[in-house]
């Protein structure tokens, strides 16, 4: 059986014990539901890590060092791969046509967003818990 292709890539960006979440704007300019991890679609023939680095440059105007694979998560029938990285760059500019807002949050904030239904895909808090579990 063929392994399902990775549809999107996302990144848990961390700085000083906080994690970056963004609210994306949909293609037609409307707000997408809730906070999400930065990232986007994997283009045909593109490796997931390469796609994530491209998306972070396009969305946040940053480059990251080492990417650590956190896991694969299913959402709406597709596989979404999550990585983690440290973010040392200032996030001074981002395309308002793509991102409505961004914010640095604590892990407990993600739990509260999850409970309130304020996460875009729902796997964001699970991915963060999976990342934090590897540190124990």
Looking at domain 6-133, its CATH class is alpha beta
pTM over 0.75: yes
Query: Which 3-state string (H, E, C) describes the chain?
Result: CCCCCEEEEEEEEEECCEEEEEEEECCCCCECCCEECCEEECCCCCCHHHHHHHHHHHHHCCCCCCCEEEEEEEECCEEEEEEEEECCCCCCCCCCCCEEEEEEECHHHHHHHHHHCCECCCCHHHHHHHHHHCCC
Percent of all residues in the chain with a pLDDT value above 90, rounded to a whole number: 65
* Domain residue ranges in the chain: 6-133
**pLDDT tens profile 102-136:** 999 998 898 899 899 899 888 999 999 999 998 77
């Amino acid at each position: 059986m063929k392994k399902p292709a990775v549809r999107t890539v996302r990144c848990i960006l961390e700085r000083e014990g906080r994690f970056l979440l963004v609210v994306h704007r949909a293609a037609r300019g409307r707000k997408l539901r809730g906070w999400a991890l930065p990232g986007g679609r994997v283009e045909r023939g593109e490796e997931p890590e390469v796609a994530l680095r491209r998306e972070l440059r396009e969305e946040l105007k940053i480059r990251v060092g080492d990417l650590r694979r956190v896991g694969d998560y299913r959402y709406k029938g597709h596989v979404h791969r999550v990585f983690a990285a440290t973010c040392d760059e200032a996030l001074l500019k981002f395309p308002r046509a793509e991102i409505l807002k961004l914010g640095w949050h604590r892990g407990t904030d993600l739990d509260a967003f999850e409970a309130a239904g304020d996460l875009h895909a729902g796997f964001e808090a699970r991915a963060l818990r999976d990342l934090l579990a590897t540190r124990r």
